[in-house]
Amino acid sequence: MVSHIDERRTDTRQQIRAVALELFAERGYGQTSLREIAERLGVTKAAVYYHYRTKEDILSSLLDELIAGVDRIIECGQAQPSGPERRREVLERYSEMLTDTFEEAPRLVRFLQESQTSIKDLAAGAGMRERFHRLRALLIEPDAAVEDEIRAQVALLALHVGAFPLAGTEDVVETDRADRGAAALRVALAVVNGDEPVSRG
């Protein structure tokens, strides 16, 4: 009996998270209220409030898995010496997380990129920003030039673009998620190493 209650509670929390992410993406974090999340879900505001006291609680819950995944990549990268092999390992792991590990990752990363202004002062937003900074640092040498720092940033952005189409190009790019992810990884590796992109053929 208790397990059924726990399953229902978990299911409700997942539904709230999914609907909240939809609304955050559609309307923006600042323009979305708990009441609107409840209305979209078809429940009372009190039902949402029972699980999450604030929008930021929902956002933090959404980011928990993404943060944990990035932390694992950072930990693995920090255990290796800097250089091409570490860059490859970090980018491959991050690409895998975006394309294979959990379904919400691409939408979350897209939301984070498009909502930087509205969440910059929130603890959850600051936590993700700091992790992206540490991830980028693993892709450059200690005495890196400005060009190398930019390459690292562009390489991560390439993986983001591979995880989701750019706004307005959803119907133009007719490749599946795995193909886009693989193509983005090739571009990211070429960019971060200062090479020409490698063709599959």
- Over residues 150-193, the pLDDT tens digits come to 999 999 999 988 887 655 545 544 557 778 889 999 999 999 98
- Cβ neighbours of residue 167 closer than 8 Å, sequence gap 6 or more: none
Structural domains in the chain, CATH included, are: 1-53 (1.10.10.60), 62-201 (1.10.357)
Structural contact between residues 163 and 98, judged by C-beta atoms closer than 8 angstroms:
yes
Would you state the pLDDT for residue 163?
80
Would you state the pLDDT for residue 185?
94
Please name the residue ranges forming H helices in 52-104. 55-78, 84-96
Q: What is the pLDDT of residues 106-125, one digit of tens each?
A: 778 778 877 877 887 888 88
Q: At 13, list the tokens.
A: 């929390």
- Cβ neighbours of residue 111 closer than 8 Å, sequence gap 6 or more: 21, 24, 25, 29
Would you state the pLDDT for residue 194?
85
Nearest to 193 by CA among 92, 85, 96, 93: 85
pLDDT at 148 over 60: yes
Would you state the pLDDT for residue 3?
44
The lowest-confidence range among 75-79, 89-93, 144-148 is 144-148
pLDDT at 6 over 50: no
Would you state the pLDDT for residue 165?
62
Q: What is the pLDDT of residues 68-85, one digit of tens each?
A: 999 999 999 999 999 999
Check: pTM over 0.85? Answer yes or no: no
